[in-house]
Chain A
Amino acid sequence: MSLLEAKNIRKVYKTRFGGASVEALKNVSFTVENGEYVAIMGESGSGKTTLLNILAALDKATEGTVILDGMDLSKVKEKNVAQFRRDNLGFVFQEFNLLDTFSIEDNIYLPLVLAGKKHSEMKERLDNISGTLGISDLLKKYPYEVSGGQKQRAAVARALITNPRIILADEPTGALDSKSSDELLALFKKVNQMGQTVLMVTHSTKAASNASRVLFIKDGTIFHQIYKGESTDRQMYQKISDTLTLLAQGGDK
């Protein structure tokens, strides 16, 4: 069975006074298998952020279902949604979203503290991942003291520390310079190879070329998908570029 299954998702935004309505997602269906690294690509306004918000239970679909590991997201009660997110999902955002009132260490602990874990357990979990993420030296610092790449690594640590079923990343390289981007992508790959499922939304070809599968979304529907298979990053990059060119020219598949 798939880890994540999205079936016939439709999302309609209504303006406040019920006038014009906009269909952000038309009919999106796809699955993510356990241990997969999936990228969703699309231009601005194509509906990819809407899709991610629905997968993250931050927003509700107008129609369709999202099933994570056998649980229907729409059946999760409103008051349990936050806890559900905390226990099952890890987030990495474009803008890092670290709280400047916390040190890096405390930022990483935040979801665990919310879950009511003991300090000794939190520390153990952090020790396990801090080496891999290369953040051991940053822990006592504050967000304003470290670079964007370091902030994003801290954010990844915050996402990983709960041992989530899936990591949802929204344009994780969007605010980073190319060197930091490369480092972060390498990190995602490493994490994925350790068995972590990753779903990334991006419009960077380079970022997407790291993934094992790329979904293309245009005008609210899944337009195409590419498997990486045995190809190298470079070949994958080429395939994605070709598809994007095709998309931009408005050609049908």
Chain B
Amino acid sequence: MKAGFYPRMAVSGMRKNGRLYLPYIVACILMVAVFYIMHLLGYSEMLENFEGAGTARDILKLGTTVMAVFGTIFLFYTQSTLIKGRLKEFGLYSVLGMNRGNLGKIIFFETVITWLISVAGGIAAGIGFSKLAELGFRKMIGLDSSYKFIISGQSVFFTVIVYTFIFFLIYLNAVRQVRFSRTISLINSDKTGEKPPKANWFIGLLGLLTLMSGYVIAIKIEQPLSAMIWFFIAVILIIIGTYLVLIAGSVLLCRILQKNKKYYYRTDHFVSVSSMAYRMKRNGAGLASICILLTMILVMMSSTSALYINREENLRNHYPRQINCTASNDGFSDSYGEVVEKIKEDVDLKTAEYGAEIIDSYIYTTCYVSGYFENGRLRLDIDPLNNLTTIDFDKVVQAYFFDVDDYNRMTGNNEVLSAGEVLVGVEGNVAFGKELIIGDESFEVAKKINYRQGDFRHVLMNTVVSTLFVIVDDLGDVASCYNGYADTNGNPMLVWEWHYSFDTGLDEAKQMELGKLLNDHIRDELWQQEFWGVRCESREDQRSDFVRTFGGLFFLGILLSVVFLVSCVLIIYYKQISEGFEDQSRFGIMQKVGMTKENIRKSINSQMLTVFLIPIMFACVHLAAVLPIIHKLLMLFGHNNIPLLLICAGICVLICGLFYASIYKVTSNAYYRIVS
């Protein structure tokens, strides 16, 4: 055989199937390009020298892995759709005398060509867009723009390696598909009469049940820490449920409709109901995939955009003043008062030396224990950290003790307490009556208070677990009571903490400088004092950290969303094309039997619209169901702004919906071109 025969066969085969191959190759190029860009930003030396860019880059490193895994799955899926469409052609080749080895060669060259174009084109596109992406990334994580253009050899190398490997897997899969089919079945692959879809009650109901339990978990979980674990369970249940419901449940629904003779034997229902059953059987999995991708996009975009937009409020919650000093130690000793006095003096002195004025300051001391809340009692003998898997996080509660003087000063109240009497504020879900038992100590609850008053609201930094704010008449006395408690590792359970926060009249750069100065100073001063954890943070310094984390997440969210969206487009496009070919003959028959063109068009239109709307409607329901748990998860990042999350979700649904509608327009045109 002449040299170059197989490559030429491969090229002509791909060219003839351009309608299928072109979108596939474009998607491949995009995947490679995004992978390159993520790798470049995440790993290359380009951003290495920027202090604090680390978090954002770690996020992108994670994204690189996600891209590799998703790319593999997705290209596998697309490629097997492609090969299925060409089995007939391969069947003809084998009738003409090609054996499986020859077909394998054609597939080999096709894969090589696709690989070559995708990797070369992808890297070229990646390099082309890398500057744009870099500038966007820098802007979002708050770095200055640079005018240097970098092509990273390392990133190119990794991209080539990863995608060569993926394409190798794809090649093996394609060969397997062709090898294990018989010539005659290759030729008739699109003609074998298809069994009517059976209504599978068991799977349909199982799917519904799975989906519902996923929803219930997502809605019911109250506790952010348990949300972490349950979120994944809910996600998996919802994914499985979506697949089962769309594959089996939809057929079931059609069958039930068909049982109802009055409904079924009507001109506008007859054709659509019965062909829907078929369509859903074939496309259920595809629709479920689209639905899952859309849901991922919606969840990712609404959560990351909410985090990013809310970063300033989040920052101010964490750092209520420009300068925030903290000192803490395990256990309690009578000398602690003197130590913190000393630190405060130092801070005041240094600040004055720096030429800054202390404005609007607040200061307080607290100590806290955490335990397991049962029957109105906070048990300190169970260590949640050692029982992570068995513990009910809803019952993990921390109790913060405050001196009534600190409380009165910060809130402007004038409460007076006697020994054993307490005021209690609650964040979260803790039920108790007139008596509150913490460890072995019993307190008489004089009054429940709203702790969100004045500067006192700043005492709560995170709401990961339920929290009690216990105001006592003498903090030292109470702390001494708990001094003996130790956890399973032998560390004291009681933690003593001192907070001193204030504003200055300085500008932002000076605030940062002062923060660093104070931090270095008080650390040096107290380095000798054992066990003291002392730090001083300026809000300005932390701002860039916040921006980098949330900006990095948002950036990753956008990049992945683009990739997911393109994948969606491709799945939909192939679905429309394959349906088009199927409907071509059906269209003809119906016309001969006496259906008007207009009738047919109407019925096909309504079917397509239904099939098209299913994924996005499901995705919206999914989003609505998981929003509560997402809110809990965002709390772990200190985000507690429900209206903003809702607005972000709404906008994401809107944008996604618009984009989806335009995909519908374009792909249904491709469909009509085939049918008519």
Contact = CB atoms under 8 A, between A and B. Distances in A.
Given A110-B270, A113-B267, A99 B594 contact: no
B229 interface: no
Nearest to B278: A101
Interface in A121-168: 122, 142-144, 158
B4 interface: no
A102 B274 contact: yes
B275 interface: yes
B65 interface: no
Given A99-B590, A101-B274, A110-B270, A82 B193 contact: no
A91 B594 CA distance: 10
B482 to A, nearest CB: 74
B598 interface: yes
Contact of B270 (A97, A113, A118, A144): A113
Given A82-B596, A91-B592, A93-B592, A99 B270 contact: no
Interface stretch (B103-111, B258-266, B560-568, B618-626): B258-266
Given A82-B591, A101-B278, A114-B594, A142 B196 contact: yes
Given A86-B594, A97-B593, A116 B267 contact: yes
A158 B275 contact: no
A28 to B, nearest CB: 22
B595 interface: yes
B181 interface: no
A149 to B, nearest CB: 16
B188 to A, nearest CB: 13
Given A79-B598, A101-B586, A142-B196, A58 B270 contact: no
B195 interface: yes
B270 A158 contact: no
Contacts of A86: 593-594
A216 interface: no
Interface residues of A, number: 31
A166 to B, nearest CB: 14
Interface string A74-117: 00000101110110000101000111111100100111011110
Given A109-B265, A114-B267, A58 B593 contact: no
Contacts of B196: 101, 103, 142
Contacts of A109: 265, 270
Contact of A82 (B262, B589, B595): B595
Given A83-B594, A101-B274, A102-B274, A113 B265 contact: yes
A119 interface: yes
Nearest to A159: B593
B99 interface: no
Interface residues of B, number: 27
A101 B275 contact: yes
A75 B534 CA distance: 98
Given A101-B278, A142-B195, A144-B193, A114 B265 contact: no
Interface in B567-592: 586, 588-592
A4 B593 CA distance: 20
A86 B594 CA distance: 5
A81 B277 CA distance: 30
A117 B266 CA distance: 8
A106 B196 CA distance: 13
B599 interface: yes
Contacts of B278: 100-101
Given A79-B598, A99-B586, A101-B277, A119 B593 contact: no
A218 B196 CA distance: 44
B265 A144 contact: no
Nearest to B600: A82
B144 interface: no
Contacts of B507: none
Contacts of B274: 101-102, 106
Contacts of B267: 113-114, 116
B194 interface: yes
A97 B596 contact: no
B590 A79 contact: no
Given A82-B594, A122-B265, A144-B194, A99 B599 contact: no
B275 A114 contact: no
B596 A83 contact: yes
A163 to B, nearest CB: 14
Contacts of A97: 588-589, 592-593
A187 B597 CA distance: 32
Contacts of B597: 82
8 A-B pairs closest in CB distance: A144-B193, A86-B594, A82-B596, A113-B270, A97-B589, A119-B265, A101-B275, A119-B261
Interface of A: 58, 79, 81-83, 85-86, 91, 93, 97-103, 106, 109-111, 113-116, 118-119, 122, 142-144, 158
7 contacts: A79-B596, A86-B594, A97-B588, A97-B589, A101-B277, A119-B261, A144-B195
Given A101-B277, A106-B270, A114-B593, 13 more contacts: A58-B592, A79-B596, A81-B596, A82-B597, A101-B274, A101-B278, A109-B270, A110-B270, A110-B593, A116-B266, A119-B262, A142-B193, A144-B194
Interface of B: 193-196, 261-262, 265-267, 270, 274-275, 277-278, 586, 588-599
